[in-house]
Every structure is written in C-alpha cells, then in structure tokens.
Structure 1
C-alpha cells in the first residue's frame, strides 16, 4: 500500500472516498470542498493506494489551535475523517493513514492527536482504540431555536 498526500490529481478518487464516508454531501459538494482544502496550510489529506493505483482509503486532518476537548496543548492535530474501502479493511491501511497524519502533526509542533465519533458509532470507537486513541470525554450537544 502506498500512502501519499492527496493532490489535485486525486480529485476524482478523493471525492468518491469522501462520498462513501459522508454520503449526504453529494459528489459536487465534495469536489468543491476539496478544491478549497488543497490550498489550506492547516489541513493534511492523505490517500492510500494499492500497488496497482486503486484508491483504498483516505485520511483528512486539521490543525486546531483552539481548545480541543480532552486535550491539554495547542495546536492539536485533529482527525476530521478516515475511511477505508470495505474490501481493504483489517489490512493495516487505517494505521498507515494515521501514521502519515501523525508525522505531519509532529512537523507542525503537535504533541497531541485527537478525533471524535458519534456516540452510536461503535465501529469507529473500536477502530480508534485499535489505532491507539484513548477515549477522553463523552458529550451530548443541545440546541434551542430562538424566535
């Protein structure tokens, strides 16, 4: 498996992987967001490809300078999204993607790496634990519409 920073040449595969991870956003929305992400200095985006060049997974991360729940330092690298195609899961790709983000984070002065998952996403919880993350907090957000 080859893990490398995502570039404009990866646009089609990158958008397809994002669509698989976040299906409600639509391919056009993903393409537009990727265009902006390519120039952002505080973002890291990696694509994992097979030896044959097939896109197998992605990791997207940001550098968060504000407070991150459960962290004590700043800046903090934050895993915004990670996805591995089902046929490639349990083969170490997520670990390779996370390692690439960790390397990127260290070069930016980070000593902590954070992520999140919804309370009901138990598969994501298990993946995070397998990748060395530890749970720090559980949060339920509330909202009230004002007239």
Structure 2
C-alpha cells in the first residue's frame, strides 16, 4: 500500500508482521510508556499470532525507517457517541515526532477506513484523554468529530 508523501518521498503503509515487532514495540513504548517491561512485546506477539478482528499497520519511508503505527479493532460493545454497532475503533496511532505533520497519520487512517468499509462497518470511533490537546487536534484534522467528554470516578470500598 502506498500512502502519502513524506518529505517528498513515498510512505509505504503495510500490515504489521513479525519483522516489524522491534519497531512496533519501540513506538508502542513511546505512545504508552506504562506498557514497558515486556507487555508491548507480548501483546504484539498475540496480535500477530491471533489477529482476530484487528488491523495493525506500520508506515515506513523509502529507506525502510519506521515512521508510525496504527491499531484498529472491531468493537461489538456500545461505543460512546456511535449510533451503530459494531464499529471500527482506533485503539492507537503514533507517528514519530520528526515525521508528524507530513500526512503519515492521514495515510494510515485512510487505509483503516477502507478496511472498515470492507468489513461492512459504518462508523469509525476513537478516544483521547481530556488533557491530550495534541491527540484531539490530530483527530479533528483527520475528520473525527468530538461526541462527548467524560470524567471517570471511583471510590474504594473497604
């Protein structure tokens, strides 16, 4: 799959494979630092071994350098703000800072949208932490519309 141009050079978007595991792990660690210590490598091995209803993409430049990744799943449960079920859900997207603003995320999302349509899905959902203005801006730039804001609470019961 060919995506957008990155710094005037083509971006290659492809389904993740075992050969991508090290780059994918590094990018997951940058996006979700709490998953360090082997969790990301284990989850990637599970996704590669039994992908189920998921799409996992990596973007690379013409020198085969990893630029970003995207993970999408099909969710059958209720997804806030959606009117249909199941829906495609953007579980994670990451582009290295040096590659941002060049269409890499847009190219990966476009591939994911095509995949979701092929699955017969009519909605594509995602979420972002309330305090993550950068992620919210990226979602808006990619055509997502905000549907609601939520603050979760808990109370310990002794």
Fold similarity call, TM over 0.5? yes
CA distance in 2, matches of 1:134, 1:3: 25
Residue of structure 1 in register with 2:68 after alignment: 57
Structure 1, unaligned stretches of length 5 or more?
none
Determine if the alignment matches structure 1 residue 135 to structure 2 residue 149: no
Equivalent residues of 1:16, 1:27 under 8 A apart: no
> 3-state DSSP class of the match of 2:33?
coil
- 1:144, distance to aligned residue in structure 2 (A): 1.6
Q: Find 1:96's aligned residue among 87, 104, 107.
A: 107
Residue of structure 2 in register with 1:48 after alignment: 59
- 1:40, distance to aligned residue in structure 2 (A): 2.2
Taking structure 2 as the reference length, the TM-score comes to 0.90
Q: Find 2:119's aligned residue among 108, 112, 120.
A: 108
Taking structure 1 as the reference length, the TM-score comes to 0.97
| Alignment coverage as a number of residue pairs | 147
Q: 1:27–1:85: structure 2 CA closer, same or farther, 3 Å change rule?
A: farther
> 3-state DSSP class of the match of 1:81?
strand
> Aligned Cα RMSD in Å?
0.9
